[in-house]
Amino acid sequence: MNTTYILIIAVVLILLIAGAALGPVFFRRKRSERLQEKFGSEYDHTVQTLGDEKKAQTELESRQKHVASLDIHPLSAKEGDRYVADWAIVQARFVDEPGQAIIDADRLIMEVMLLRNYPVSDFEQRAADLSVNYPELVSNYRAARLIAIKNEQFLADTEELRQAMIYYRSLFEELLEIEPVAA
């Protein structure tokens, strides 16, 4: 009987020690999985930019907290309609002035962000905020940005500008959502 008790206690102790040792590992696994799942390619991008997975995870979590603290709200139906129309004009304008259309498209995105209560600051901050709600589209936003910079130096060709237009639009269309944001 005594030996049985001792055995049971020993097994329980071993399990506890193993749990204590492996717990954080599991937890970290969970955390990275969760963030990876949520942010997708933005997760990799952040890891690459910061050069450290832990730092990247902290950064992404702080982005989530930051965006949660903002009072992001959808556009009104009227605002939505207006911006749909504005976009159509900018897109048609591309045929005459591709470079200007890109600038206008970027500006429309910023306007909508402002209306929805995103703090509009520098590009990286905007991208970071957008990455929380639109993780799969922020890479498009960044790609468009690169072309927009080339465009400022008159180095972007028409096909690149057209691509930028499509990148911007993918984000713009999502930003126009009328339903409440699923944060």
Partner 1 sequence: MNKQYDGANIADKTDTSKNSTETNSDRFVDNAPVLAGLIHDTPIGVPVAADGPVLEKSVEPEAPINEIVDAEAVSDTNAGSSVPLLNHEDSEHLRTRWNEIQGWFVDEPRSAVQQADTLVADVIDKITQMFANERGLLEGQWKQGDDVSTEDLRQALQHYRSFFNRLVV
Q: How far is the CB of 114 from partner 1 (least distance, A)?
A: 24
- With CB under 8 A as the contact rule, which of the stretches 4-12, 27-35, 59-67, 164-172 interacts with partner 1? 164-172
Instruction: Tokens for 129, please give them.
Output: 């905020």
Pair of tokens at residue 21: 């040792």
Is residue 94 a contact point for partner 1 (CB under 8 A)? yes
**108 within 8 A of 172, measured Cβ to Cβ:** yes
Is residue 166 a contact point for partner 1 (CB under 8 A)? yes
- Measured between alpha carbons, how far apart are the two ends of the chain, in Å? 57
Q: What angle do CA 44, 55, 53 make, to 5 degrees?
A: 40
**Interhelix angle 138-152/41-50, nearest 10 degrees:** 60
Least distance between partner 1 and beta carbon 130 (Å): 21
CB of 45 to partner 1, least distance (A): 26
Query: Which is nearer to partner 1, 105 or 138 (by Cβ)?
Result: 105
* 92 interacts with partner 1 by CB under 8 A: yes
Nearest approach in angstroms of CB 152 to partner 1 is: 20
Q: Is 91 in the site for partner 1 (CB under 8 A)?
A: yes
Instruction: Kindly state whether residue 11 participates in binding partner 1, applying the rule CB under 8 A.
Output: no
Query: Which residue in 64, 42, 56 sits closest to 143, CA to CA?
Result: 42
